[in-house]
Amino acid sequence: MPVVDVRLTALSDSFPNIHLKEIIEKIPYIGLDIEGVDENNGTIRVEFNPNRPDYSSENGIMRALKGLLEKEVGLPVVKDIEESDYVICVDETVDNIRPVICAFVAKRKEPLDGHEISQLISMQEDLHNGVGRKRKKSSIGMHNLDNIVFPLKYTTVPKHFSFIPLDKENEFTIESILKNLDVGKKYGHVLQDPDVFPILSDSQKNVLSFPPIINGNLTKIKSDTNNLLIEVTSINEKSAHDILSILSFELYDMGFKIYSININSHSGESIKTPVLKQSKMIVSYGYINKILGLKLSNDELIKCLERSRCSGKVLENGDIECSFPRYRIDIFNPADISEEVAIGYGIYRFDTSSSSYPSLYFSGKKHVNSVIFNSIRDVLIGLGFVEIINTNIISKDAIDDFFIKADDADLVSIKDSKSSEFEILRNSIIPSIMVTLSKNIHEKYPQKLFEIGKTFKVQHSELKEEWSLGVVIAHNNTNYSEIKSVLESLIKYCFNKNIKTPRCNFEYYLNGHSAKILFSESEIGDIGEIYPQVIENFKLRTLVSVFQINLSSLMDLLDLKKINYL
């Protein structure tokens, strides 16, 4: 998950009448996780969900805290966007490459300081990786306005066209940038090898940017910069405007005055950007209270919305028209509005009494899977293991580190993933547990973990999902015998059956210390000591023994009617 550093002094200065400890305690209640406090640097590291890109900066977090702590409530707005004669002309040649561009100008008297530049760069990268889908969907250019002469032209050039890229002293051709510069090698595939390439230049033919690859060096932002041009190019209009709205509020909160830019298309159409009109949604008053288990009046619901930096008004039929800022791109349906009410109400105010439960009623009985899984949990917990839960999606690096080829035809990749941590549907449960162990290296050993979860594979051109069990022991003296005794106990106590473990070598296990797991002569999993190089890949400092079982295959083999607990 992405993280952002928030200065402790900024928290104290923003809320001078509230103790710093109380402010920090409220941070999780706006949907954030505290990774740690670095008192030496005077910062707190905050982890945010990629669906809240407005939290990718200190200002975005402050904006939400001000609502919860009632310093500023209701819709935040960018006041008095100045009309301007700034123009960007869009050439028809970009239509089939990267057709969308939008932009604004930001000005103030004081130059950017080091912290602000760092925040903007960090925010830019988070937006690139998230909303921008690693620049494939959208990319951002930030420029020193003082070196730019309007009008600008967004057009295309051939591969032999040259300019001086960011942080370079000499000219490079487009072809050379893509082949020789690290940023070109990393993002060149986004353009899918076109015959021409997008370029944004000014009226003096100076290159501002070669999107989505690199900016020109002429407009580099420095410590004395106080006037900015922000532009976003994209293949998707909504994505571009989403990003521009987030950056508009960010710079406004930094004290900049926002100026609009006219985007003139080759068809004769013209629009002014940024477009910051708030979004609206009508939600039933009864729905919100029902889903939250509360009995709030309309006035109380509206106050809760305002503390979440939204607003609302009661319609004639009793429904509530909810308004939320343009940068809140995570709100899609009434359930999201209910969540905003819960945050404004105060998650810390909810209790576990029956009167606070949502008024929903359930009936039925447990699925056979639940019965079996609970039996497995009882045995493993009784043997001293701790259950963990991981996502079904894992990074390519983790798959590679476990000696599973990431380009294996049986693996399923996630297209346009928001994060490098979530790229592949896992086909084995053990790599996920190894990642957990790698994050637990500061905890004492032995560590005994298990997970019950889904794994995926492609079979006969169709995606197949299965339930799997992974069990891991990590300490300096663990071995095959120890993990096998756990496996035998589990099968015996849960199913009163025996298993066979004929020796078999696997790439991720130590040779001679691994085996298949056979149940009724059918293979249902494998067991062994993790290979030393795999342990090193996950930066572990101890031995690891594991087994994994395909629970879907096991349940197919069991005669469930004869199992006494059913």
Q: What CATH number should be reported for the domain holding residue 435?
A: 3.30.930.10
Q: Which two tokens stand for residue 18?
A: 């509230």
**Which CB contacts under 8 angstroms, 24+ apart, belong to 262-269?**
262/84, 262/85, 262/86, 262/87, 262/88, 263/88, 263/90, 263/101, 263/102, 263/103, 264/87, 264/88, 264/89, 264/90, 265/90, 266/89, 266/90, 266/91, 266/92
Q: Are residues 44 and 91 in the same domain?
A: no
pLDDT higher at 129 or 409 = 129
* SS3 letters across 336-368: HHHHHHHHHHCHHHCCCCHHHCCCCCCCCCCCH
Task: Tell me what the mean pLDDT of segment 359-386 comes to.
Answer: 81
Query: How many beta carbons lie within 10 A of that of residue 288, not counting itself?
Result: 25
Query: How sure is the predictor about 565, in pLDDT bands with cuts at 50, 70 and 90?
Result: very low
Query: How sure is the predictor about 480, in pLDDT bands with cuts at 50, 70 and 90?
Result: very high
pLDDT the model gives residue 39: 82
Query: How sure is the predictor about 564, in pLDDT bands with cuts at 50, 70 and 90?
Result: very low
- pLDDT for residue 127 is more than 90: yes
Mean pLDDT for all residues in the chain: 90
Task: Tell me what the mean pLDDT of segment 190-195 comes to.
Answer: 82
pLDDT higher at 276 or 563 = 276
pTM of the shown model? 0.69
Q: Are residues 61 and 161 in the same domain?
A: no
- pLDDT for residue 563 is more than 50: no
In a domain, 73, yes or no: no
pLDDT the model gives residue 559: 67
Give the domain extent around 227: 87-273
Look at the block and give the residue holding tokens 């950056």: 247
Q: Are residues 347 and 474 in the same domain?
A: no
Q: Are residues 508 and 451 in the same domain?
A: yes
Q: Are residues 297 and 408 in the same domain?
A: no
In a domain, 292, yes or no: yes
- Segment 89-117, tens digit of pLDDT: 999 999 999 999 999 999 999 999 999 99
Domain termination site, one of 222, 241, 273:
273
We report the CATH number of the domain holding residue 306 as: 3.30.56.10
Query: How sure is the predictor about 481, in pLDDT bands with cuts at 50, 70 and 90?
Result: very high
Look at the block and give the residue holding tokens 């960011």: 166
Contact 491, 564 (CB under 8 A): no
Which residues lie closer than 8 Å to 44 by C-beta, 6 or more apart?
5, 6, 8, 11, 24, 27, 34, 36, 37, 38
In a domain, 75, yes or no: no
Contact 300, 312 (CB under 8 A): no
- Segment 452-473, tens digit of pLDDT: 999 988 877 788 889 999 999 9
248: enclosing H helix or E strand: helix 237-253
Angle (nearest 5°) at CA 268 between 265 and 271: 60
Q: Which residues pair with 467 in a beta bridge?
A: 454
pLDDT the model gives residue 40: 86
Q: Are residues 346 and 215 in the same domain?
A: no
Q: Are residues 129 and 185 in the same domain?
A: yes
pLDDT higher at 443 or 355 = 443
Q: Are residues 423 and 475 in the same domain?
A: yes
In a domain, 82, yes or no: no
Task: Tell me what the mean pLDDT of segment 238-245 comes to.
Answer: 96
Q: Are residues 269 and 286 in the same domain?
A: no
Over pLDDT 70: what percentage of the chain?
Answer: 93
- Domain count of the fold of the chain: 4
Q: What is the widest separation between alpha-carbon atoms in the chain? A: 84
Domain termination site, one of 273, 302, 336:
273
Q: Which residues pair with 469 in a beta bridge?
A: 452, 549
Look at the block and give the residue holding tokens 């919100």: 288
Q: How far is CA 531 from CA 484, 505, 511, 543, in A?
A: 17, 11, 8, 9
Query: How sure is the predictor about 21, in pLDDT bands with cuts at 50, 70 and 90?
Result: very high
Q: Are residues 423 and 557 in the same domain?
A: yes
Could you give the CA distance from residue 99 to residue 275 in angstroms, rounded to a whole number? 18
Query: How sure is the predictor about 409, in pLDDT bands with cuts at 50, 70 and 90?
Result: low
In a domain, 80, yes or no: no
Domain termination site, one of 313, 329, 356:
356
Upstream peptide bond of 212 is cis (omega within 30 degrees of 0): yes
- pLDDT for residue 542 is more than 60: yes
pLDDT the model gives residue 400: 80
In a domain, 77, yes or no: no
Q: Are residues 417 and 526 in the same domain?
A: yes
Q: Are residues 158 and 116 in the same domain?
A: yes
Could you give the CA distance from residue 197 to residue 158 in angstroms, rounded to a whole number? 6
Where b means 16+ CB within 10 Å and e means fewer, 467-497 reads: bbbbbbbbeeebebebbbebbeebbeebbee
Helices 334-345/298-307 angle, 10° precision: 80
In a domain, 421, yes or no: yes
Query: How many beta carbons lie within 10 A of that of residue 40, not counting itself?
Result: 6
In a domain, 202, yes or no: yes
- pLDDT for residue 562 is more than 50: no
pLDDT the model gives residue 35: 87
Cα-to-chain-centroid distance, residue 300: 32
